[in-house]
């Protein structure tokens, strides 16, 4: 049962970009949908479980959730620029590499020589896999540019902060279920601020603003299930399971959203995904 629960985050996070791709709308519509749908899941969970959370942790989690929304906006923009099947593998690599470096430098993870060796070899495999997935056959008129990659990397900083906040001392003794609601409310708050600050107030009158809530529910269920998966089988193993989302999103982008790839691009993408999954699993042994 524990491993079945651990598959839920991979499914929810893998299907989320496919849902937003099918529903459509602007990134303003999509980030609001994620925030609103996830907040709905968080509110129901809070009412059912009644977890305890301090005001200080509530406000801090709210801020971290808002920062996450900046990263997700960047991902939605990238979906439109280079497609889901190119964005998700690159984003996965940036998150894995960034989180690993933060873990080593700030939280003292991979403290032995053996762990550092395995960890950095695994990251090298992941990076090679990402380079393969972003391979473009120029003859088809499409190209993943350096500008696209740097934009996605810059916006991924919000993900790094979001991934690190549960390890921070301020939340060390807080219930992970308790900080889930303020975290997703922060995503919704960040989405509303983005919509208003970017001059997209009209988005609140658009149908896609609310149909994208389906994607938010998918994301919220995945995030909530991850809390319990991490408790039952450990954070490291649970995180490895989440990496399966890259398979669902990448091949879903090709098959469901009909993102075009030449035969040679498809071959590079397939083996790139294989390397990303192998490298992700290998980091669990570091």
**42: Cβ–Cβ under 8 A, 6 or more apart, which residues?**
180, 181, 183, 184, 185, 220, 224
User: Are the CB atoms for 152 and 75 separated by under 8 Å?
Assistant: yes
pLDDT exceeds 70 at position 2: yes
State pTM to two decimals: 0.85
pLDDT (0 to 100) of residue 67:
86
Give the C-alpha separation, 164 to 161, whole Å: 5
**Residue 258 region by backbone torsions, left for phi larger than 0, else alpha for psi between -120 and 50, else beta:** left
pLDDT (0 to 100) of residue 142:
55
If you write DSSP's letter for every residue of 78-128 in order, what string do you get?
HHHHH-HHHHHHHHHHHHHHHHHHHHHHTS--S-SHHHHHHHHHHHHHHHH
Query: pLDDT of 40-62, one tens digit each?
Result: 999 999 999 999 999 999 999 99
Q: Which of 161-165, 213-217, 222-226, 275-279 has the highest mean pLDDT?
A: 213-217
Query: pLDDT of 126-155, one tens digit each?
Result: 889 988 988 877 655 557 888 999 999 999
DSSP alpha helix (H) spans, 156-200? 157-164, 180-197
**27 or 130: which carries more pLDDT confidence?**
27
Helix %, strand %, coil % of the chain (to 5):
80, 0, 20
pLDDT exceeds 60 at position 115: yes
pLDDT exceeds 90 at position 262: no
Give the C-alpha separation, 167 to 163, whole Å: 8
Query: pLDDT of 66-101, one tens digit each?
Result: 988 989 999 999 999 999 998 999 998 898 888 888
Query: pLDDT of 162-183, one tens digit each?
Result: 777 777 788 878 888 899 999 9
pLDDT exceeds 70 at position 236: no
Give 234's pLDDT tier (boundaries 50, 70, 90): confident
User: Are the CB atoms for 93 and 60 separated by under 8 Å?
Assistant: no
């Amino acid at each position: 049962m524990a491993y079945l629960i651990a598959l839920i985050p991979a499914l929810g996070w893998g299907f989320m970009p496919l849902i937003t791709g099918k529903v459509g709308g602007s990134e303003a519509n999509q980030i609001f949908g994620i925030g609103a749908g996830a907040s709905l899941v968080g509110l129901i969970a809070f009412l059912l479980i009644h977890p305890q959370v301090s005001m200080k942790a509530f406000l801090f989690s709210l801020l971290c959730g808002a920062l996450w929304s900046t990263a997700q906006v960047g991902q939605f923009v990238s979906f439109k620029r280079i497609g889901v099947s190119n964005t998700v593998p690159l984003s996965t690599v940036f998150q894995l590499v960034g989180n690993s470096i933060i873990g080593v430098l700030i939280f003292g993870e991979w403290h032995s020589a053996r762990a550092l060796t395995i960890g950095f070899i695994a990251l090298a495999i992941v990076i090679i896999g990402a380079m393969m997935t972003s391979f473009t056959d120029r003859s088809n008129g499409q190209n993943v540019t350096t500008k696209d990659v740097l934009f996605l990397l810059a916006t991924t900083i919000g993900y790094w902060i979001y991934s690190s906040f549960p390890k921070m001392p301020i939340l060390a003794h807080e219930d992970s279920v308790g900080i889930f609601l303020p975290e997703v409310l922060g995503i919704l708050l960040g989405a509303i601020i983005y919509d208003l600050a970017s001059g997209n107030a009209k988005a609140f009158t658009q149908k896609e603003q609310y149909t994208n809530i389906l994607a938010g529910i998918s994301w919220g269920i995945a995030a909530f299930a991850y809390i319990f998966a991490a408790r039952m089988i450990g954070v490291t193993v649970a995180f490895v399971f989440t990496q399966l989302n890259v398979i669902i999103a990448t091949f879903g982008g090709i098959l469901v959203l009909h993102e075009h790839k030449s035969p040679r691009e498809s071959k590079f993408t397939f083996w790139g995904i294989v390397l990303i999954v192998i490298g992700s699993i290998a980091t669990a042994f570091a």
